[in-house]
Amino acid sequence: MSQLSTRHLLGIKNITQEDVELILQTAANFKEVINRPIKKVPSLRDITIANIFFENSTRTRLSFELAEKRLSADVVNFSSSNSSVKKGETLVDTVNNILSMKVDMVVMRHSSPGAPHFLSRNVKANIVNAGDGTHEHPTQALLDAFSIQEKLGDVAGKKVAIIGDILHSRVALSNIFCLQKLGAEVMVCGPITLLPKHIESLGVKVELDVRKALQWCDVANVLRIQLERQQIKYFPSLREYSLYYGINRKMLEELDKEIVIMHPGPINRGVELSSDVADSEHAIILEQVQNGVAVRMAVLYLLAGAKG
Nearest to 130 by CA among 182, 219, 59: 59
Report yes or no: 215 and 134 within 8 Å, Cβ to Cβ.
no
Given CA atoms 100, 106, 110, 114 in this order, what sign does their dihedral have? Answer: positive
Residue at 121: amino acid letter? R
Find residue 39's DSSP bridge partners: none
Residue 138 and residue 126: Cα distance in Å, rounded? 15
| Annotation: binding site for carbamoyl phosphate | 59-60, 109, 137, 140, 265-266
Please answer whether residues 134 and 113 qualify as being in contact, where contact means their C-beta atoms are separated by less than 8 angstroms: yes
What one-character DSSP code corresponds to residue 225?
-
Strands 126-132 and 159-163 come out as unpaired
3-state helix, strand, coil split of the chain in percent (to 5) is: 45, 15, 40
**170-181 and 138-152 helices, crossing angle to 10°:** 50
Residue 6 to residue 289: CA distance in whole angstroms: 26
**Residue list, annotated binding site for L-aspartate:** 87, 170, 224
